[in-house]
Structure 1
Amino acid sequence: MSESLPLLSVARLVALLRETVEDNFVQVLVEGEISNYARPPSGHAYFTLKDDKAQLRSVMFRPYNRLLRFVPENGMQVICGGRISLYEPRGELQMVVETMEPKGLGGLQVAFAQLKERLESEGLFAPERKRPLPGFPRCIGVVTSASGAAIHDILNVLRRRLTGVRIILRPAQVQGRGAAADIASGIADLNRQGEADVLIVGRGGGSLEDLWAFNEEEVARAIYASHIPVISAVGHETDVTIADLVADLRAPTPSAAAEMVAKSRLELEGHLDHLSMRLASQMRSRLNLLEERVEGLARRLRSPIEDLQQCRGRIDELEQRLQKQMVREVATRHEKLGALTGRLDALSPLGVLKRGYAIVMHSESGEAVRRAEAVALGDPLHIRLKQGHLQARVTEVEP
């Protein structure tokens, strides 16, 4: 051992190494895979960056960790920016990470994908929970910047297409730090106020970073908790924000959101007009049909006077037929009577009397005397001639 070398304590040597490392590696970019990721309640993140040949302990303190738009996970390939330091208590080399980006994807895209997957699993995007817009909104709440172009576009559309509708603007910061909290507070404020029938939440177009407030979980939770139907109206055509997925309806622009609200009312009014026309047409058809049936019944329905007249005519006709029949019947009967009279005359004793014969009858009984033995001497007899009668007495009987 050489006596010319200075004698150093462990602490002194580690301190010298730390100074050397920190002076020479003030800012570095390191690519590697995250493993052993841990984030205790302190808010600091501890993990290991590794590749197939080496590994490096790393730490990301809470102030930097809070700025991340995504949640680091084990196995994720990242590019970390920061400085190299030496942790003196254990004499371990470590990287103090100040920035972190996923390799191949921006942190915002990763954060969007992670939040979307988590909220979707919780049912915040479920179609069955989305509510229809009110048909006749009397009051429309708007959460957006008071100085942006979005509110002017919304007002222009609503004033042109709707009348008698109140508009409540809840000004909100829509970009930068604190924007998400302000937007969420605006949604909650209008819900507490309870006057709006529908909410339009949004802003004009911009970059992904400009629109990021509408991808924050805080805004998504506020839209989900809203008792009032929400239209997300973030001014972008192609990209979809988390707010778009949670809202009851998505509009590509604030103007389109205003048109949707007005369209709902106009469509309902048009539908009512269409139903009124159909009802009027059906009523006309029904009335025409009933009128035709009434006319048919009227033609079939005769007046009682006409029936009486017809009955009288029928009676007259029957009376005439009866009289004719009676005349014919009397004539027939008269003819029959004449024939029978002739026959009766031929058989009548009176006819015999006309030929000179007489009828002899017992005076007491009036019975005709047919045999001589039927009388005795001295019996009174009554003799009927053709003309007149004779009273006689039996003076002689010859059997």
Structure 2
Amino acid sequence: MSDNMQFSLFDSDDEPAPAKKKKTARKKRAASSSDDALSITELTRQIKSTVETGFPSVWVAGEITDIARPRSGHLYFTLKDDHAQIRGVMWRSVAERLPFELDDGQSVLCMGNVEVYAARGSYQIVVRKCQPQGMGALQIAFAQLQAKLDAEGLFDPDRKRLLPRVPRKIAIVTSPTGAAIQDFLQAAAQRHAGVEIVLIPASVQGPGSVESIIDGMRAAHRLQPRPDVLIVSRGGGSLEDLWSFNEEALVRAIAASRIPTVSAVGHEIDVTLADLVADVRAITPTDAASRVLPDRDAMAAALDNLRLRMTTGLFRRIESDRMRLQSWESRPVFQNPFELVHDRSREIDDWDERGLTAIRRRLEVAQARLATVAAAQSALSPLAVLARGYSVTQNEKGEVVRSADDIQIGDQLRTRVSSGEIRSTVTHTE
């Protein structure tokens, strides 16, 4: 049993003598006559008075089983050990302040009043305080919330964003009087002076600190222009001191931030849920400055290196172009540029002469072929036949007269000869 447990046991031997005699007499009277029998209500009332008076406040160790969570917010459960059990109830006002979530199988220490529930004739402990055995309450709450948010993917590395290499504006939400802001500003001044740092004051410990930090983050989102990086920071401390950075509301606010976030809480050994959900975790406020801001000396060295590389590259390019120009300058076209024009003119004249010769040859061949075709057509032409003394006679319809039987006396005829046409009238036929 815990050293903190306060356990008192009502013992009848501690009663005053008159009370003992009175009770003994009552027992004798109850046993001697059925007329003195107690009602269930009276018996329960006496038991309730005896139990609640004898156990005003006790610590009880046991294992949680059969836990029930009705919509009222109260918790009902059973506390048991290897040989006995007792019903327990935790009212909503107490359950809401519990830093961890009760579950079946947990070993806990509960402090409260033992009461008799008259309606069922049973007794129970009304728990006012509860703490786990083994792990502390805050450690259990941390593990439970971490598992819940991890299952939702809030700690997934794929959702984390990269910080800008050279931020122009940084917002830091922290206590204005704490060591965290001093460490950050000192480190920032040594690394990079050309950045705007906006301090948003917030309470980082105790009641109202979670709302204060969330309000500070909202204020950072309203800044114009919007900061490139948002830092949530405070110095080291115990788990209780840093607990604001393990609250679910703050962790979800960091996850929902539209600005890349850095969590710089505590020291290297301190890990909060804010560290796990932020885009970048810095182990100290000084480390946050080194992660967010570029090193001034390193940047100067990098710029010098770039300047050297650019200068070297530029001179190499100039030398390469100079050699290329010299190569072009030595070519004949640049030595005697009109020579190429003259050569091309001579080629054009040659092509012109060759074209005219080809055209003349084609014309001669075409003329020869045309003469041949004309001679052939002339030989076959009817006019050539007429030229040899023949004629062609046609009637009025234009039909060729091939026989004397084709005409009648009085028909009008046309006779075609080589040099004209003769019209005649048929007077007789043979």
- TM-score normalized by the length of structure 2: 0.65
Q: Partner residue of 1:232? A: 263
Distance 2:334 2:32 in 1: 149
Q: Could you tell me whether the CA contact under 8 Å between 1:188 and 1:222 is conserved in 2?
A: no
Q: Could you tell me whether the CA contact under 8 Å between 2:166 and 2:294 is conserved in 1?
A: no
Q: Partner residue of 1:220? A: 251
- 3-state SS of 2:94 partner: helix
Moved more, 115-124 or 78-87: 78-87
Q: Partner residue of 2:114? A: 84
Distance 1:304 1:157, change over 3 A: closer
Q: Does 1:72 align with 2:72?
A: no
Q: Partner residue of 1:207? A: 238
Q: Could you tell me whether the CA contact under 8 Å between 1:130 and 1:248 is conserved in 2?
A: yes
Q: Does 1:286 align with 2:317?
A: yes
Q: Which amino acid aligns with 1:26?
A: P
Higher-Rg structure is 1
Q: Could you tell me whether the CA contact under 8 Å between 2:59 and 2:109 is conserved in 1?
A: yes
- 3-state SS of 1:86 partner: strand
Q: Which amino acid aligns with 1:192?
A: R
Distance 1:124 1:266 in 2: 36
Q: Any gaps of 5 or more consecutive residues in structure 2?
A: 1-30, 340-430
- 3-state SS of 2:184 partner: helix
Q: Which amino acid aligns with 1:197?
A: D
Distance 2:176 2:165 in 1: 27
Per-residue deviation at 1:264? Answer: 7.2
Distance 2:304 2:284 in 1: 29
Moved more, 294-303 or 282-291: 294-303
Counterpart pick for 2:168 among 138, 141, 145: 138
Q: Which amino acid aligns with 2:293?
A: A
Distance 2:197 2:41 in 1: 69
Distance 2:335 2:178 in 1: 85
Distance 1:9 1:188 in 2: 65
Q: Any gaps of 5 or more consecutive residues in structure 1?
A: 309-399
Deviation per CA, 1:196-221: give whole Å up to 9, x if none: 22111020000011001101111101
Counterpart pick for 1:12 among 42, 50, 69: 42
Deviation per CA, 1:358-381: give whole Å up to 9, x if none: xxxxxxxxxxxxxxxxxxxxxxxx
After the TM superposition, which residues 12-161 of structure 1 pair with which residues of structure 2 at under 5 Å, given as runs?
Answer: 12-161=42-191
Distance 1:302 1:196, change over 3 A: closer
Q: Which amino acid aligns with 2:256?
A: A
Per-residue deviation at 1:272? Answer: 5.2
Q: Could you tell me whether the CA contact under 8 Å between 2:191 and 2:295 is conserved in 1?
A: no
Per-residue deviation at 1:114? Answer: 1.0
Distance 1:46 1:269, change over 3 A: farther
Q: Does 1:183 align with 2:213?
A: yes
Q: Partner residue of 1:198? A: 229
Distance 1:268 1:238, change over 3 A: same
Number of residue pairs aligned between Structure 1 and Structure 2: 308
Distance 2:281 2:104 in 1: 35
Q: Could you tell me whether the CA contact under 8 Å between 2:191 and 2:296 is conserved in 1?
A: no
Distance 1:57 1:82 in 2: 12
Q: Could you tell me whether the CA contact under 8 Å between 2:116 and 2:123 is conserved in 1?
A: yes
Q: Which amino acid aligns with 1:235?
A: G
- 3-state SS of 2:172 partner: strand
Per-residue deviation at 1:148? Answer: 1.1
Distance 1:38 1:264, change over 3 A: farther
Distance 1:8 1:266 in 2: 93
Per-residue deviation at 1:261? Answer: 1.8
- TM-score normalized by the length of structure 1: 0.70
Q: Does 1:174 align with 2:204?
A: yes
Identity, in percent, stands at: 48
Q: Could you tell me whether the CA contact under 8 Å between 2:235 and 2:284 is conserved in 1?
A: yes
Distance 1:304 1:156, change over 3 A: closer
After the TM superposition, which residues 351-366 of structure 1 pair with which residues of structure 2 at under 5 Å, given as runs?
Answer: none
Per-residue deviation at 1:296? Answer: 5.3
Q: Which amino acid aligns with 1:140?
A: I
Distance 2:257 2:295 in 1: 20
Moved more, 128-137 or 248-257: 128-137
Distance 1:6 1:181 in 2: 64
Per-residue deviation at 1:127? Answer: 1.2
RMSD: 2.8
Moved more, 242-251 or 231-240: 231-240
- 3-state SS of 1:151 partner: helix
Per-residue deviation at 1:161? Answer: 3.1
Distance 1:27 1:5, change over 3 A: farther
Moved more, 14-23 or 292-301: 292-301
Distance 1:266 1:107 in 2: 47
Distance 1:120 1:63 in 2: 28
Distance 1:212 1:296, change over 3 A: same
Per-residue deviation at 1:168? Answer: 2.1
Distance 1:100 1:268, change over 3 A: farther
Per-residue deviation at 1:116? Answer: 0.8
Q: Could you tell me whether the CA contact under 8 Å between 2:236 and 2:270 is conserved in 1?
A: no
Distance 1:170 1:6 in 2: 77
Per-residue deviation at 1:298? Answer: 5.2
Q: Partner residue of 1:311? A: none
Distance 1:301 1:276 in 2: 40
Per-residue deviation at 1:174? Answer: 1.0
- 3-state SS of 1:263 partner: coil
Distance 2:150 2:295 in 1: 28
